[in-house]
Structure 1
Amino acid sequence: YSDARVADNLRVGYVRSVDDTLRNALGALGVEATELKVDDVRAGDLQKYQAIIIDNRGYLAHPELISANARLLDYVNAGGTLIVFYHRTNEWNPDPQKNRPQLAPYPIILGNSRVTDETARIEFSEPQHLLLNYPNKITQEDFANWIQERGLYYPQTWDKKYSAPLSTNDEKEPSLRGGLLAADYGRGRYIYTSMVWYRQLRAGIPGAYRVLANMISYGRQ
């Protein structure tokens, strides 16, 4: 992954989920990365991190993170970049019975759509978007040799403040545009992605490392 560039002097915090894939990937990128416990989110100094990642299904792995989510949004508002990997519909969508509010700064409602063909063509609907250009220029090559699938539980609706620079679909299925959503919030940035980066990172797919590098570098150009 030596061709994956990251912004200078990045410090990244991450909330671990089920394994060490994310930690290992950040290490492979040469990034200073720190695992955050929920108590760190509640009471720690988050602004020392340029980016924070919630690993896939992190709000399920750590239900108490939901009550601390406002601190994450405050972190973004003050200038940080928050990246949230995929969640299932019933782990994410607002649910008063579970005391779960809208977790994103602007509404994102997940559905059950997925793209199971790992070779499905990726369309660049916003080719000039910063996430596709800095510090790594993302091309079709970065989506080659993926394994198992493209993404899960794609958003069915999202606020117009989000950009959706990628789209893809299984054959004879409608195009799904919400696999990578990004919005400015206050002085910071928020990213939600339903694409299965963890499978690709674990498999050593170079393009996944390049996109991860762009996500953690977002807004640091």
Structure 2
Amino acid sequence: TITFNLRPLAGAAEGKTELRAVATVGGQPYSRGIQTIQYPHIPTQTLFPEATAPLVRLSVARGHTRTIGYLMGAGDEVPEALRQLGYTVSLLDPATDLTAERLAKYDAVVLGVRAYNVLDRLKTQQPQLLQYVENGGTLLVQYVVNRGTVLPQIGPYPLTLSADRVTVENTPVTFLPTPGGALIVRQAAQPTAPSLAQDLLTTPNKLTPADFATGWVQEQGLYYPSAWDSHYQSVIASHDPGETDKASAILVAPYGKGRYIYTGLSLFRELPAGVPGAYRVLANLVESGGK
């Protein structure tokens, strides 16, 4: 094992590059690893991938959030992305950690993809999560499949999940005027409230539409809500060619002293791919309001 540190050159531009490992033995270069895939229902597969690792230089700011509790759903690599941003991340045990008292030590709590599809414990502990938000925490919920949920409602206010998605990953994104806005065609008029959506787009990183599209891979987002209560504020809108705008990729609502956020954005795919904008979006989501 060889351990070393890499530092970007001063003044280097934001972007991605690749680190390659080559070992020369007896004059013969070796640049591939070995990966074995074993499952009971298929023959053993052996792969020989190139020994490479992506390197990403990006500019991303952090705010007040320091500690994050992460409840894994069906499985994703978002906790590692949060750690790479400098946050202290603890994986939550659904059997013991989902109480308002235990969650209180976290600045933000994030639910992994499909958590409400695979974690029966959420049937009984949902009130504790909402109590955490009411006490001042930020709860970020990643996409939930619209069928087979353990609860009829996943938010503090009514929210109708659907199979709506934007499959073209680099489709242009529009920032919505808030509160209200002509593009929010499925939403009732917003009550008078601080513009949580504007705050999410500007703090601590001033996001641009390019952050939601440039370099993105395999869908911009999925399982967007088709209807939602007027307490929720829409943040962005986009659509596949020939379709109408979908304005529920990110919904944010005040609840007590905290904030509840639902996003169907495919961050779980973009972050492992090293998409700079996805890291800035994630930072703004976990820094949103709350404590």
Q: Which amino acid aligns with 1:219?
A: G
Higher fraction of helix? 1
- Indicate which of 49, 59, 81 corresponds to 2:116: 59
- Mapped to 2, the partners of 1:213 and 1:18 lie a distance apart of 22
- Mapped to 1, the partners of 2:290 and 2:144 lie a distance apart of 26
Shift of 1:19: 3.5
Q: Does 1:113 align with 2:158?
A: no
Q: Does 1:16 align with 2:38?
A: no
SS at match of 2:163: coil
RMSD: 1.8
Q: Does 1:122 align with 2:165?
A: no
SS at match of 2:259: strand
Larger mean CA deviation between 147-156 and 41-50 belongs to 41-50
Contact 1:80-1:189 at 8 Å conserved across structures:
yes
Larger mean CA deviation between 19-28 and 30-39 belongs to 19-28
Q: Which amino acid aligns with 2:167?
A: T
- Mapped to 2, the partners of 1:19 and 1:89 lie a distance apart of 18
Q: Does 1:175 align with 2:245?
A: yes
**C-alpha distance after superposition, 1:170-215 (max 9, x if no partner):** 0001110001000100010000001111100111101111011001
SS at match of 2:97: helix
- Mapped to 2, the partners of 1:171 and 1:45 lie a distance apart of 46
- Relative CO higher for 1 or 2, CA cutoff 8 Å, sep ≥ 6? 1
Shift of 1:111: 1.3
Larger Rg: 2
Contact 2:217-2:270 at 8 Å conserved across structures:
yes
Q: Which amino acid aligns with 1:123?
A: T
Q: Which amino acid aligns with 2:205?
A: N
Q: Which amino acid aligns with 2:60?
A: A
Contact 1:130-1:218 at 8 Å conserved across structures:
yes
- Indicate which of 266, 271, 286 corresponds to 1:201: 271
Shift of 1:18: 3.6
State percent identity of aligned pairs. 38
2:134 counterpart residue number: 77
Contact 1:57-1:91 at 8 Å conserved across structures:
no
2:147 counterpart residue number: 90
**C-alpha distance after superposition, 1:95-116 (max 9, x if no partner):** xxx6x24120011101111111
SS at match of 1:37: coil
Q: Which amino acid aligns with 2:236?
A: L
Q: Which amino acid aligns with 1:71?
A: Q
- Mapped to 1, the partners of 2:65 and 2:245 lie a distance apart of 37
Shift of 1:2: 4.6
SS at match of 2:282: helix
SS at match of 1:48: coil
Contact 1:14-1:34 at 8 Å conserved across structures:
yes
**C-alpha distance after superposition, 1:41-67 (max 9, x if no partner):** 147521111100001101223222222
Q: How many residues align?
A: 215
Shift of 1:6: 1.4
Q: TM-score, normalised by structure 1?
A: 0.91
Q: Does 1:157 align with 2:227?
A: yes
CA 1:20–1:112 in structure 2 vs 1: closer, same or farther (change >3 Å)?
closer
Shift of 1:88: 0.6
Unaligned runs of 5+ in 2: 1-56, 179-196
Q: Does 1:214 align with 2:275?
A: no
- Mapped to 2, the partners of 1:214 and 1:23 lie a distance apart of 15
CA 1:150–1:185 in structure 2 vs 1: closer, same or farther (change >3 Å)?
same
Q: Structure 1 stretches (4+) deviating beyond 4 angstroms?
A: none
Higher fraction of strand? 2
